[in-house]
Amino acid sequence: MIPYGGKMSDISESETPFPHRAGNINKMMYEASWNQEENEASQRYFDWIRRLCSFMTPHVSKSPREAYFNYRDLDLGTNNEGFTSVEQASIWGKKYFKNNFNRLVRVKALVDPGNFFRNEQSIPPLSSWRKNKGD
């Protein structure tokens, strides 16, 4: 658990891409690691961390559930192979960035229109969305 509050609560949600400020008591990070290489061990740890997340669900943000991008939660959704629409990416993007998501889509379109910088949950550039919509 990482405590929040203090000066962090005084900074507007829209001042930086990181919006989880006023009203948040702490950030929780769940992590599991193991050295065994067999699939059975991996599955055991995946199952354990999912049970922990389910147990904690009543005690974390909801309506909507939110997350910190540096601790990505792939259960929120992931980009498709190839094209992912802005609408689809907003499913997890708004949980990470709240009202900053649309602004970050526009920034992505300006600085990385070819989507060079991407990961499983990266923000797609707005130009991809426009091409798909036929604009």
Active site residues: 71
Residue 71 DSSP code: G
105-111 contacts: CB < 8 A, separation 24 or more?
105/129
The 10 Å Cβ neighbour count of residue 50 is 13
Omega cis (within 30) before 113:
no
Please give the single-letter amino acid code of residue 88.
Q
Structure-block tokens of residue 69: 């991008």
Closest C-alpha to 64, from 46, 82, 90: 90
Rounded CA gap, 113 and 11, in Å?
30
